[in-house]
Structure 1
Amino acid sequence: MRILVPVEKPMGLESPISEEFGEAPYFAIVTDGGVQILTNEEVMRSFRHKWEAIVALKPDVVITKEIGRPAYQALRSRGVRIYLAEGATLKEVLEKLRRGELEEFPPELVHEPRHRH
């Protein structure tokens, strides 16, 4: 299983969860092989839309505090489970996921895309 979580700093399992999704400074990809942390620039390069870059990472699960409609719809249409991040660190949200304590991301919290100009 590939789990994608936006984080603020590249601190492994102690990485703080980002308040942002597409604008997060880093993305943690968690697999059975461990934790890989990529910068936002590494993830987003060569993609026109941020949601395309996220989909290209092929997550099975996304854990986030917020998400825009395009990314939400693109991920859900591919069968990706999206959960609301409840916890301060990557380790905390992963433990809650494994214990079944995270709720599916509420559709009413999905927001319209924010474009920076």
Structure 2
Amino acid sequence: MRIAIPTDYPGGLEAKISNHFGECDVFTVVEIDPKQTDFKNTKFILIENRNHLNCGALLLRLRKAGTNMIIVKKIGSNALEIIELEKIPIYAADGTVLQVLDKFRSNQLDQISKANICLGKEHEPPSSNS
């Protein structure tokens, strides 16, 4: 099983999950056997275009990497719709990649909910006009 997790730079097992699927620095794609406790290998996919309007292209890159599950902290409604159409299981979690994978192994991940959907504004810097 290959799990894609949007993470902060530089990615990897100790990286924190990015605040938003489409604006992450790196997707950490981890190949695991859910029945074993070790990782077969860890593959990192660098995301060059951080434009979250291009979620279809991000998903295509993840599909080419063999991803069959995605874990996010937050995601936009358009990206979520594309992922659901592709029938890729998607779960919500926070923490480091290693912490999230431990939750996965113990069946403690929650399926994505409305609380994990971004409306866009919360990722913009606050206005300097007070």
Q: TM-score range by the shorter chain?
A: 0.7 to 0.9
More strand by share: 2
Match of 1:92 among 99, 102, 108: 99
The aligned amino acid for 2:106 is R
Identity of aligned residues (%): 30
How many Å separate the matches in 1 of 2:80 and 2:9?
A: 23
Q: Note the residue ranges of structure 2 that are not aligned, 5 or more in a row.
A: 33-39, 125-130
Change (3 A) 1:14 1:5: same
Q: Normalising to structure 2: TM-score of the pair?
A: 0.73
| Partners of 1:54 and 1:71 within 8 A in 2 | no
Q: Normalising to structure 1: TM-score of the pair?
A: 0.80
Cα deviation code 1:48-89 (max 9, x no counterpart): x42112221123111111001111011111111111113x21
Task: State yes or no: 1:54 paired with 2:62.
Answer: no
How many Å separate the matches in 1 of 2:30 and 2:54?
A: 20
Pairwise CA RMSD of aligned residues?
2.5
Question: Mean alpha-carbon deviation: is it higher for 91-100 or for 10-19?
Answer: 10-19
Change (3 A) 1:27 1:65: same
Matches within 5 A, 1:23-102: 23-32=23-32, 33-41=40-48, 44=49, 49-56=53-60, 57-58=62-63, 59-86=67-94, 88-102=95-109
Q: Note the C-alpha offset of 1:34.
A: 1.4
Task: State yes or no: 1:105 paired with 2:109.
Answer: no
How many Å separate the matches in 2 of 1:11 and 1:112?
A: 25
Q: Note the C-alpha offset of 1:5.
A: 0.5
Q: Note the residue ranges of structure 1 that are not aligned, 5 or more in a row.
A: none
Please tell me whether Structure 1 or Structure 2 has the larger radius of gyration of its CA atoms: 2
Aligned residues: 112
How many Å separate the matches in 2 of 1:108 and 1:13?
A: 25
